[in-house]
Amino acid sequence: MLYKHLLVAVDLTDDSHTVIEHATALAKLCEAKLSLVHVVEPISTSISGEINVDEKTLHQERIDQSRTALEALCSRHPQLSKESCQLTFGQARREVHRLTKELGCDLIVTGSHGRHGLALLLGSTPNALLHDAPCHLLAVHLP
């Protein structure tokens, strides 16, 4: 079975390049379309509640920083057009699943560090994406 449209979900760290490279190689083999998304998740008000911070300003700063980082990331990968790179806001699992359906993707590609201890107990984004995923999921192992 060949994939037709891959959605690459990245966290904008340096590891994102590795995930994109793996997804690109697979997309070439399958002659598939490649789209990329980064989800800016909301900050819990319980975290910022003790600090005197304007939440709207903080929220907008996070979106602006993410947009700049996403543009820089996508510009380093010419196989990704500006239109194929998206920034969205919300819960990562929900937003990635929504975009997967909206774009008609048949494979989600993301990175996984194989966390242990507390991170394992709390779960991870790849684990969350797996639950109720509307298609296959490829977790690229990251060191």
Three-state SS for 110? strand
**Token digits for 53?**
């911070």
- Computed over every residue of the chain, the mean pLDDT equals 85
The model's confidence at residue 133, banded by pLDDT at 50, 70 and 90, is confident
Question: Per DSSP, what are the bridge partners of residue 8?
Answer: 36, 109
pLDDT score, position 44: 65
Between 129 and 35, the more confident residue is 35
* Residue range 44-61, pLDDT digits in tens: 654 545 555 677 888 899
pLDDT score, position 119: 45
Q: What is the pTM of this model?
A: 0.84
The Cα 141–Cα 21 span in angstroms is 12
Question: Which CATH architecture fits 5-141?
Answer: 3-Layer(aba) Sandwich (3.40)
**Token digits for 68?**
């700049």
Beta strands 33-40; 136-141: pairing state = unpaired
The Cα 95–Cα 73 span in angstroms is 20
Which own/partner pairs from 19-24 qualify as long-range (CB within 8 Å, at least 24 positions apart)? 19/109, 19/110, 19/111, 19/140, 19/142, 20/73, 20/77, 20/80, 22/109, 22/138, 22/140, 23/109, 23/138, 23/140, 24/77, 24/79
